[in-house]
Chain A
Amino acid sequence: MNMTTPIEQREFRIVGKSVKRDDVLEKVTGEAQYTGDIKLPGMLHGKIKRAAIAHARIKAIDVSKALAYPGVKAVLTHETVPRVLHYGSPHPRSASCTRDQYILDDKVRFWGEGIAAVAAISEEIADEALDLIEVEYEALPAVFEPEDAAQPGAPLIHDVGPGGNLVLDPVRVSRGDIDKGFAEADFVLEGTFSGGRPHPAYMEPNVCIADWDGSNKLTFWTSTQTSFMVRGILAEVLGLPLTKVRVLVDHMGGGFGAKQDLFQHEFLCALLAKETRRPVKMEFTRHETFVAGRSRHPCRIWLKQGFKNDGTLVARDMKLVYDSGAYGSHGPGVTIVGTTAATSLYRCENVRLEGRCVYTNTPINGAFRGYGVVQSYYALDIQMDEAAERLGMDPADLKLKNVVRAGDIAPSGHPIIGHGLEICLQHGVDVLDWKALWNRDRTPDPKRPHIRKGWGIGCEMHGSSAYPGIKEQGNATVKINEDGTVTLLTGAAGLGTGAHTALAQIVAEELGVRFEDVGVIHGDTDVVPWDIGAFASHTTYLVGTAAKMAAGKVRAAVLERAAMKLQVSSDEIDLCDGKVFVTAEPDRSMTVSEAMGPSRGIPAANIVGNGTYEPTKSYSFAAHFTEVDVDTETGIVEVKRVVPVHDVGRVIHPIAAQGQIEGGIQQGIGHTLTEDYLIDKKTGRSLNAGLVDYKMPLSMDMPDIETIILEAAPDPGGPWGAKGVGEDPIIAIGPSIANAIHDAIGIRFHHYPITPEDVLKALREKGA
């Protein structure tokens, strides 16, 4: 429906400018209150006893010693908490989740799963009491790899679901005629690809505080991207009406998608507080963010594509297997999105895709920036480079020939708007003089003969919303005060991305007031309008449009009232920078404050505007051009330079958009080269659940990044054509690095992370 709406062209006062973020001062001074900073009188501290076995029945659990330990106020086990089967990832109106979790169960499904919880007067005492809980297990055979879990006769991890350790029935997507496509092909490429288990490692560990008042109402502070989902599922599982659950979240130290589940500790914290009638805080250690948090789904991909000799793609056959870990969480959504994404990126009329998601006895994998697409596009983009090599073509030429364009059907089923990907790719080719780069002399520097340089290109597209998997809705309420200042009420969480600043810019621009005059109230489910959560790169696109709608209504009402006071018709006046003036006589004016305030017996106005927006989807695009150095003696790959070219439609806040791109590249470099959360394949124990041995790149490791943001293909579904940017950068960087490594040393890697040992081993096998 929004596809036909033309994009308004105008001069902008605030949109497109890097205004100062409203939270910057309190963050740099350390005054910003995060959930972990909150201390309530009488507050207890909760800790979770975690299983030291990957798959078992709990035969007996004895908490008597823990309960008797001085300072311990309550202990909960599967015998004493409500037994309610619930969705770990609670998206309403969504088919893409699986009801497979209990708060506590008598079965352990992964090493590190919570099996009991303690509340005590201090964190230390709670921690010490955990050691006093005695558990007797009946060990069950465990499976740690999706291949093993999918074997007939493999031990079943759940009784629910389609069986065979499948999280959902296989996702099958078909377009055109695959057999006809392969019959027309001049050559066929076939390969298998795999991805590790990167972990988001957000700065702020998961944390929550529960407090029940005398009316049996629960107030719940938690670091979440989806406060209304937390409210809904807590209410459902605890048997409360929504009026009796209030969820609060102010500042957050990141989430990257992984903080949109309902976590075990959140239920347990609420229940411990209920039992003790005292506030209870639970905060993860860094170790717990790994074992009890959410990571990216490891995957195995088989990809076979048919090409014509002129580079035309005629057939794509692809099978993907995602490892869900011990519970479904976002496995269904990730499988659907990651699989259907492979219908697109590079045009192909004959496509057959099959995505599976399999339970294993490993920590839970969930939503994470790039949501299944990181995996599938890694395979697509590397095989595209292989096709170029086979054809003797410059990969830029082959990609330019095949990238999706306006009118092609996107994974969502909609025609793509604009030539975003083509323009990004062409722009990068032009500014880098790619032809010269690609045809350069590849002789190594005689002073450093062991260093080989390479350049690679990675392409991506990603939707700004979870449509059609979830029918989304964005809401905003805008109020104008009698002094002309404006308050925006939004449920959108602020993960640290600057989303609230962007929303305030949109409101100020649309309404006609100064940016500084807009305040944002967020993060209180009793106050702000319902919100679906901050995910799917959609906050600016979705909530931004709702905020623009709400601000537009307020603007109209302000103009009505000013017109009355100025004794003109409302279509004769305009509103800009907090001033209302007669368009034909700009000197005849009044401030918004004068328009809103009381005068001559007229009380001050009370103007409230609501906006509700139900979008479909827009796609953002990017091409990353990456230079690497490969040390052929150590196998170390160093990313030297990245030129990311992004189309994000209308840019609301350039520095914030650039920050998203740089951050995504940093995470993506880690995923491709150094980050992998390792699980022991014999015991299921975590091998590097901490930041000592889980190697994220740091500032010193960052290459030069020369970000280019184009407004190449604005989408009418977003405010003035704005689209998402949050997830895009992490998708394109991976294949650009893998392709650059090939350019440097002539070796194709089909997996990530590509470790120095992998590189050295491959070089030796090649006989270099």
Chain B
Amino acid sequence: MRRFDYYRAETLEHASRLLTELGDDTFLFNGGTDLLVEIRERLRRVRNVVDIKQIPGLSDITYDETRGLTFGALVTVGRLENLSLVRQQYPNLRAALASLGSIQVRNRATVVGNICRASPSADTIPPLVADGAFVHIYSRTDMRVVPIAEFFTGPGKTVLAKGEIVTGITVPPAADNIGKAYLKHGRRKAMELSTVGVAVSLAMDEGVCSDVRIALGAVGATVLRAPQAEAMLRGSRLDAATVRKAADKAMEECTPISNVRASADYRRDMVGVLTGRAIRQALETFA
């Protein structure tokens, strides 16, 4: 492994200062499951890592019926995955968490790390986008909160300015009229980067879809919403024909590329298949 310097931040202010002062090629070290591999495989040039794992207050998980679920930057994927609250109220997020890497990876990796890596194929992003989550961002001058759909600006790129640190994520509360699903397409059942990931959150009122968000992973520069497909569903009773049309529309709304994992055409096809299946699965909540 290439050599790098290691810094342990005591506070957010300390970490932020180190990020600014140490200059380029300085990265936060949280779960490290991506960063260390990238250093070892020489995929990322790293001079300094700033370990934030000792900073107090970033490991909390709280739930509030009006605000929803809030978890800190140090919360691991595995910890969240095994919460009964997440199993019951956030089945889409839970499916994404359970499909990330392996048990060993999930016990180290953090959700916030997965978000900040900003990979278009990151498993946890689509359900958080579908649920309308918010990202809490610290800087030495203020705190800001950004809707997660606006957090990403490109593959590996986010709105974070130099010295800014994501401290946690809030996911709005669940409700009895909301159904959710996340479906991942891969070639195997673990240790798999998704070829396509589709998350759906939909609200049903008296048999009619009152709100819906569809988030598509690995078919664009960032995780995408499918606004036209969503519009077709909103106000509908979600009969089979409408669901099929919306799924077809989602295929038009995505912008996949071809790579060694799949061709663009195949990815587009899978957006159609998975969107339809995810909507049907979300509806099963009410069955």
Contact = CB atoms under 8 A, between A and B. Distances in A.
Nearest to A678: B260
A760 B188 contact: no
Interface string A126-140: 011000000000000
A698 B101 CA distance: 12
A124 interface: yes
Given A634-B185, A692-B193, A701-B190, 16 more contacts: A124-B1, A633-B273, A634-B273, A673-B187, A674-B187, A690-B41, A695-B192, A699-B190, A700-B189, A700-B190, A701-B188, A756-B187, A756-B266, A757-B262, A757-B263, A760-B266
Interface of A: 124, 127-128, 285, 287, 633-634, 636, 673-674, 678, 687-688, 690, 692-693, 695, 697-701, 756-757, 760
Q: Is the interface of B mostly helix, strand, loop or mixed?
A: loop
Given A687-B260, A693-B261, A634 B191 contact: no
A698 B190 contact: yes
A698 B260 contact: no
A127 B261 CA distance: 29
B189 A698 contact: yes
A674 B188 CA distance: 9
Contacts of A687: 260
Interface string B251-287: 0000000001111001001100100000000000000
Interface of B: 1-3, 41, 185, 187-193, 260-263, 266, 269-270, 273
A673 B186 CA distance: 13
Q: Is the interface of A mostly helix, strand, loop or mixed?
A: loop
21 contacts: A124-B3, A127-B2, A287-B41, A634-B273, A636-B185, A636-B187, A674-B187, A674-B188, A687-B260, A688-B260, A692-B193, A693-B260, A693-B261, A695-B187, A695-B192, A700-B189, A701-B188, A701-B189, A757-B262, A757-B266, A760-B269
Contacts of B1: 124
Contacts, number: 45
Nearest to A696: B188
A757 B187 CA distance: 11
B246 to A, nearest CB: 16
B117 to A, nearest CB: 14
B273 to A, nearest CB: 5
B35 to A, nearest CB: 15
Nearest to A701: B188
A698 B266 contact: no
A124 B2 contact: yes
Nearest to B269: A760
A674 B262 CA distance: 12
Contacts of A688: 260
Contacts of A697: 188
A700 B3 CA distance: 35
A127 B3 CA distance: 11
Nearest to B266: A757
A127 B1 CA distance: 9
Contacts of B193: 692
A633 B247 CA distance: 13
A154 B251 CA distance: 44
A326 to B, nearest CB: 22
Contacts of A673: 187
Contacts of A700: 188-190
B269 to A, nearest CB: 7
B188 A698 contact: yes
B191 A698 contact: yes
A693 B192 CA distance: 9
A700 B185 CA distance: 15
B38 to A, nearest CB: 11
Contacts of A124: 1-3
B51 to A, nearest CB: 21
A699 B187 CA distance: 13
A633 B276 CA distance: 11
Nearest to A764: B269
Contacts of B2: 124, 127-128
A673 B187 CA distance: 9
Contacts of A760: 266, 269
A80 to B, nearest CB: 27
Nearest to A687: B260
A695 B266 contact: no
Contacts of B261: 693
Contacts of A690: 41
Complex A-B, nearest 10 residue pairs according to Cβ-Cβ distance, in ascending order: A700-B189, A700-B190, A633-B273, A695-B187, A757-B266, A701-B188, A674-B187, A687-B260, A688-B260, A693-B260
A175 to B, nearest CB: 42
A695 B188 contact: yes
A684 to B, nearest CB: 15
B42 to A, nearest CB: 8
A287 B43 CA distance: 13
Most chain A beta-carbon contacts within 10 A, residue among B3, B193, B269: B269
B102 to A, nearest CB: 8
Contacts of A757: 262-263, 266
A285 B42 CA distance: 12
Nearest to B191: A698
A234 to B, nearest CB: 30
Contacts of A678: 260
A688 B260 CA distance: 7
Nearest to B186: A695
Contacts of A285: 41
Contacts of A128: 2
B211 to A, nearest CB: 27
A598 B193 CA distance: 68
Contacts of B263: 757
B134 to A, nearest CB: 31
Most chain A beta-carbon contacts within 10 A, residue among B2, B41, B187: B187
B191 to A, nearest CB: 6
A325 B185 CA distance: 33
A673 B269 CA distance: 20
